[in-house]
Amino acid sequence: MKLAYLEKIPQAQTALRATGERVTEPRVAVLATLLSSDHAMSHLDVAAMIAKRHTIDRVTVYRVLDWLVGVGIAHRIAGDDRVWRFMLNAQAGAQAAGKTNAHHAPSHAHAHFTCNTCGQTFCLDKVQPKMNVKLPTGFSTTEVDLKIRGLCAECK
């Protein structure tokens, strides 16, 4: 766990280069941090993790995180505590960012799980929240978020 972050740096650099955008130190650090985590992280989680080895400004973390969302590498999740959490997209390991505008696929659907006890949020990628939702007439859907709360395996 301690070293996971360092190990992910080359992978992060490769993924960033694939975007065609600038590969900067803060971007590498933030992406490597997300790559080393199995759960969604707040901007503060990310900043604290990076701060163990480098100095980085909180504002930069915000901006890089938003940028990662913009280029389609990560996505943001609204928490119950009014804090955004970030997580890599399923296939974001390396290729993902290849296409020019992976911005937001239409009818994008996501499922997340938040533990009531430890507060950690996980992404349920395998779950396609296929539901029988009948919207009122005249309404159309562009995006669906499914949030599940409960107890995770650790806290049970």
Q: Which stretch binds DNA (CB under 7 A): 14-22, 104-112, 113-121, 122-130?
A: 14-22
Q: What is the CA radius of gyration of the chain?
A: 16
Residues pairing with 114 in the sheet: 121, 149
- Residue 96 and residue 24: Cα distance in Å, rounded? 19
Task: Say which residues have a Cβ less than 8 Å from residue 118's Cβ, sequence separation at least 6.
Answer: 152, 154, 155
The minimum distance between CB 29 and DNA, in angstroms, equals 9
Q: How far apart are CA 142 and CA 154, in angstroms?
A: 34
Q: Which does 62 bind (CB under 5 to 8 A by kind): DNA, its own copies, none?
A: DNA
Query: Does the protein bind its own copies through residue 150 (CB under 8 A)?
Result: yes
Q: Are 12 and 31 in contact (CB under 8 A)?
A: yes
Question: Site residues for its own copies, window 107-126 (CB under 8 A)?
Answer: 111, 113, 116, 122, 124, 126
> Segment near DNA (CB under 7 A), from 19-27, 93-101, 114-122, 124-132?
19-27
Could you say which of 31, 34, 64, 92 contacts DNA (CB under 7 A)? 64
Binding status of residue 129 toward its own copies by CB under 8 A: yes
Burial of 81-114, coded b for 16+ CB within 10 Å and e otherwise, reads eeebbbbbbeebeeebbeeeebeeeeeeebbbbb
43 forms part of the interface with DNA (CB under 7 A) = yes
Interface with its own copies by CB under 8 A: which residues?
78-80, 82, 84, 111, 113, 116, 122, 124, 126-127, 129-154, 156
